[in-house]
Chain A
Amino acid sequence: MSLSNLESLNYFYPELILICSALGVILLDLLLIRRERTITAYLALLGLAISFLEASKLFSGNKVVLFSQMIALDQFALFFKLFFLFSTFMVVLFSVRSEEIKGTDQAEYYALLLAVALGMILIASAVDLLMIYISLELISLTSYLLTGYLKGNRRSSEAALKYFIYGAVASGVMIYGMSLIYGLTGTTNIHAVGKALFLQETYPLTLLLATIFVLAGFGYKIAAVPFHMWCPDVYEGAPTPVTAFLSVGPKAAGFAVLIRFFYGVMARPSLEEGVWIPLGNLNWPFLIAVLSAVTMTLGNLVAIAQSNIKRLLAYSSIAHAGYILMGFVLLNDQGLRAMLFYLAVYLFMNLGAFLVVIAVLNKLNTEEIVDYRGLGWRAPFAAAALTVFLLSLTGIPPFAGFIGKVYLFAALIKKEVYWLAVVGILNSVVALYYYAGIVKKMFLEEAPDTTPLKLSPLYLTLMLILIIPTVLFGVYWAPLVNFTDSCLKLLLSY
C-alpha cells in the first residue's frame, strides 16, 4: 500500500512528536527564568514516551509505504523504532543525574538527543538511498555535536573532531557508492534497484565496488573492522551517557540499514520462504563473514589490554558488532531473528554496564578499571549489577546474553557455517578474560578506601530495571523471541 504525502502523515506521528518535543525543549529553555534546566529533560522524556506509545500503536500487520516511497512502515521498522525510542529514553534518564552533563546547557543537549532519535527512527524505515543518506547524516552530525559536548574538555573535543573526520570520509565514500548504484540502475528506491539488478545478466565490477563503498558507510556506524578506528577514542572522550547512547542507538541503526540495503538490493528472496540468495557472482556474504570474524577477534583481543573502562567497553562493543554480523551473513530468517534478538538483549546489558560506569564516575570521578577495586564491598548492589551485565555480555547463563549467543550459533550451525561458529565461540572465551578482570577487581581485590558509596536512588532503580530483562530473558525468553519473529514478517516484501 503506497500512500500520498498527506495520507502519510497519519502514520508519521512518532516522528512528528519527536520534532515537536525537540523544538519544545529549546523553546522551554528560553522561557525558563530560574534556569531549572532539568525540566527540559522531563519534557524530552515525555516526548519520547508519547512517541513510543504512538509507534507501538502502529503495529497493524500491514506494510505501508509513505511519502512517495521514501519510507516504509513494517514491523521490522517498528522493532527498531521502539528500540531507538526506548534507548534514548534511558539515556535521557542517565543524563539527568550525570555530573558530566550537569554543568552544560542542558536544553540543547536534550534537543540534540531527540534529533538523533529522530534520525534513527527515520532510518529504520528508509527504503530510498537518498532517505538513507539523509537520516544517516542526521544521526552522524548530531552525534558529533554530542560527542564534543563537554566544552573546554580536550578529550571530548578531540573525540568529536576524530569522529567528524572519520565520519565525513565514510559518508563521502558511501554516497559515492550510492551514486554508482544509481548510475547502474537509474533509480534510488532500494526495491526498484533490487529489481533492476536482478534483471541484469552480469554484474560488473562497478557493483562490487559500489557495495564495498556503501558498506564503508554502514560499517562505520556499527564500528566493524576495518571501519572501527574512531570508536575507542570517541567512546573514551564523549560524555559517558553519550557513549552509552552511541554504543547502542547508532550502532543498531547501522544494523537496521545494513539489513534493509543488503537484503533488498544485493540479494533477492528465494522460492523457499525466509531465505535470500545473493546476487549472481558477488560473494559478499563471505566477505562480510570474514569481516565479522576479524571484527570480533580484534575487538576482544585489544579489549584485554585496556585499562580505561570506557575504552574497554568500546572494544567490547566492536566485538559485539562482530557477533551480530554472524547472523547477517546467513541470508535467512533465522540469522535475522538471531540478530534482532541479540540487539534487543544487547540494548539492556550494554546500557546497564554503562549505567554503572556513569554512577561510579559520578561518585569517584574515575574511569580507570584499577579504581574499581573493592567496589563489591563499597557499593554491593552496583557491583553485583555490573557483574550481571558483564557476564551477560560474555554469554554466560542464566543471563539473556547467553540466549542471544545461542540463537546466533544455532543459526550458524543450521546453515553449516561451522568455521564462523568456532571462531565466535572461542571469542566468547577470550571475552570472559577481560570481563571477569573487572569482576575480579570489584570483588577479589581490596580497595584502598573502604567507605561505602551512596549512589543516587535513580541510578539504583534504573539498574534494577535493566537487570530484570537481562535475567528474565535468560530464563524465559519465549515472549521476546515471539516478538522478534513477528517483527520479521513482511520484511522487504514489496
Chain B
Amino acid sequence: MTDHVLSWIVFFPLIGAAVVLILPRSQERAMKLVSVVATFVPLLLAGWIYLNFDRSTPELQFVEHYPWIRSFNIYYFLGIDGLSAPMVLLTALLCFLCIFASWNTDKGIKGYFSLFLLLDTGMMGIFCSLDFFLFYIFWEVMLLPMYFLIGIWGGPDREYAAIKFFLYTLLGSVLILLAMLALYFATEPHTFDMTKLMAARGSFVGPFWKVVFIGLFIGFAIKVPIFPFHTWLPDAHVEAPTAISVILAGVLLKMGVYGLLRISYPILPEATVWFSYPLVILGLINIIYGALCAMAQKDFKKLVAYSSISHMGYCLLGMAAFTQAGMNGAVLQMFNHGTITGMLFLLVGVIYDRAHHRDINGFGGLATQMPIYAGMTSLAFFASLGLPGLSGFISEVLCFIGAFPVYRTITCLAVIGIIIGAAYFLWTFQRVFLGQLDDKYKTLPEINARELFTLIPLGIIVIILGVYPMPMLDIMRVTLGNIISIVQP
C-alpha cells in the first residue's frame, strides 16, 4: 500500500462507496461500518505520510506519474509537498470524524454514505493531483456529491442552497477551465503538468496573462469565498447537515486558497505580484465584513459561517505579503481554521439535535445543564477568537507579523477583526450558556460519547498546535519558502 500511497488515499474511499452501493438496503449498520473503514484507512495512510515526509526539501514526494491520454498529453500525476501535506492530513481527519457525526442520518443511508465517500475521493484528489487536467476533474467531481448532500439531507431551504452552491462553483470552475486551456496552449509541447507550467512561468508575462490570472482568481475566490463572491456560503453552510457543514468549512474553503498557492502563485508570478494589493484589500474586507456580519446573526450556524469568511481573510492577508511568516501563517491558518471551525459546526450540530433550533437568543444558562458541552464550546470559541495558547492565535499572529512590514496600515486595520471576533464570540457565549436556564431546557441531555469522540481529537490538535506549532510549521516551511522565491525572485 505504501508504494502507491497517494492513489490509495484518493481511491480507497471510492472503493468504500462502491461497497456501500452493493450492500442490500437493509444493512444500514454495515454501510456505516464500511464508511468508517473507508475513511480510517486514508487517515492511517495520512499518518504514515506525516511520519515519512521529508521536511527538508521543497521537492514533490510520493510521486506517481503515468500517461493517461497521450494525444492530449494528460498524465495521472500525483504527488505532495509541504503545501498539500497539511491539507491531506486535515481532509483525512475531518472525513473520518464526520462519518461519526453523520451516524444518526435517518433517510437514504446508502445514498448519503456513498456520496460522502465519493466527496472524500474528490477532495483528496484535488490536494494530491499535479496535472492540471486531473486537478480540474477532481475539482468538478466533488461538486456533484456536495449538491446532493446539501440538497437531499439539508435543512428546510436546502434546494435553494444546493443549486446556488452548484451554480456559483460551476461558474468559477469554467473560468478555471478556460485559464487552464490557455496555459496548455501557451506551452510547447502543450502540457497540463503543473511542474512544467511552473518552469515555463517566464513566458507568462503581459496583459493577457493578467486576464488569465483574473479568471483563475475568480474561480478560486468563489471557493474561498472572497468578497463579493461569498453569498453562496451562508446559505450552503446553514442548510447543509452538520457533517457536511464541517466538510464545507473545513476542507472546501481551503481549496480556493490552495488553488491560488498551488497554481496562480507559482505559474503566474508576475500577475500575482501585480494583483497583491487588490488581494490584501479583499482580505481586509473579508476580515472586517465577515466579522461584522457574524456579529449581526441570530442563527448560531450562520454566525459560524460568517466567522469563516472573516477567518479566511487572514489567510489572504498573510499570503499577499510574500514573506515567510505570512505564508506560514496563511497555510497554518488554513489547517487551524479547518479544525476549529470543524469543532464549531459539530458543536452547533449537538445543540440543534437536542433543541431543534439554533436561535442564539432562544437559549440561556445552558452551562448549568450541559457543563461538558459548555466547556468544549468555550475551547472552540476561544481558539477561534485567537486566545494565546490555542492554535488560532499562532496562525493569526503569523499572518499579521508577515503582513505588517509590507502593508502597515491595512494590517493595523485588520487587527480590528480580532476585536470584533472576540466580541461576537463572547457575546454569543454569554447569551447561550450564561444567565437563567429556561425551564424547557431543564431536560436537555448532556453531550454524549459519540459526539465527544468527534470533538476531542480536534480539541487536542487545537491545544497542541497552540502551545507548540512546529509539528505543522516544519512540514510546510521549506515548500512555502520556495513559492516565495518563485514569486519574488
Contacts and interface: CB of A to CB of B under 8 A. Distances in A.
A444 B182 CA distance: 37
B137 A398 contact: yes
Given A398-B141, A477-B69, A444 B178 contact: no
Contact of B140 (A397, A409, A410, A429): A397
Interface stretch (A119-127, A136-144, A281-289, A432-440): A432-440
Interface stretch (A235-243, A259-267, A358-366, A420-428): A420-428
Interface string B84-122: 000000000000000000000000000000000000000
A413 B190 CA distance: 13
A406 interface: yes
Interface in B173-187: 174-175, 177-178, 181-182, 184-185
B147 interface: yes
Interface string A381-416: 000000000010000111000100010011001100
B416 interface: no
A270 interface: no
Contacts of A436: 147, 163, 166
A482 B151 CA distance: 39
State which size class the interface on B falls in.
Answer: 20 to 34
Contacts of B166: 432, 436
Residue of A409, A440, A477, A482 with most partner-chain B CB within 10 A: A440
A203 interface: no
Contacts of B141: 397-398
A482 B170 contact: no
A258 to B, nearest CB: 25
Contacts of A425: 174-175, 177-178
Interface string B135-154: 01100110110011001100
A354 to B, nearest CB: 22
Interface string A249-262: 00000000000000
Interface residues of A, number: 30
B29 interface: no
Contacts of B136: 397
B71 interface: yes
Nearest to A445: B159
B186 to A, nearest CB: 10
A396 B167 contact: no
B143 A406 contact: no
Contacts of B144: 391, 396
B70 interface: yes
Contacts of A437: 163
Residue of A398, A402, A409, A410 with most partner-chain B CB within 10 A: A410
Contacts of B185: 410, 413-414
Interface string B15-52: 00000000000000000000000000000000000000
Contacts of B159: 440, 444-445
B158 interface: yes
A429 B71 contact: no
Contacts of B171: 426, 429
A151 B152 CA distance: 43
Contact of A397 (B137, B147, B182): B137
A33 interface: no
Given A440-B163, A476-B69, A477-B69, A422 B177 contact: no
A426 B174 contact: yes
A478 B73 CA distance: 11
Contacts of A444: 151-152, 158-159, 162
Contacts of B184: 410
A481 interface: yes
Contact of B71 (A413, A421, A433, A481): A481
Given A406-B177, A432-B170, 17 more contacts: A396-B143, A409-B177, A409-B178, A410-B185, A413-B178, A425-B174, A428-B170, A429-B167, A432-B167, A433-B167, A436-B163, A436-B166, A440-B151, A440-B159, A443-B151, A478-B69, A481-B72
21 contacts: A396-B170, A397-B136, A397-B141, A409-B177, A409-B178, A409-B181, A425-B174, A425-B175, A425-B177, A425-B178, A426-B174, A429-B170, A432-B170, A436-B147, A436-B163, A437-B163, A443-B151, A444-B152, A445-B159, A476-B68, A478-B70
Interface of A: 391, 396-398, 402, 406, 409-410, 413-414, 421-422, 425-426, 428-429, 432-433, 436-437, 440, 443-445, 476-478, 481-482, 485
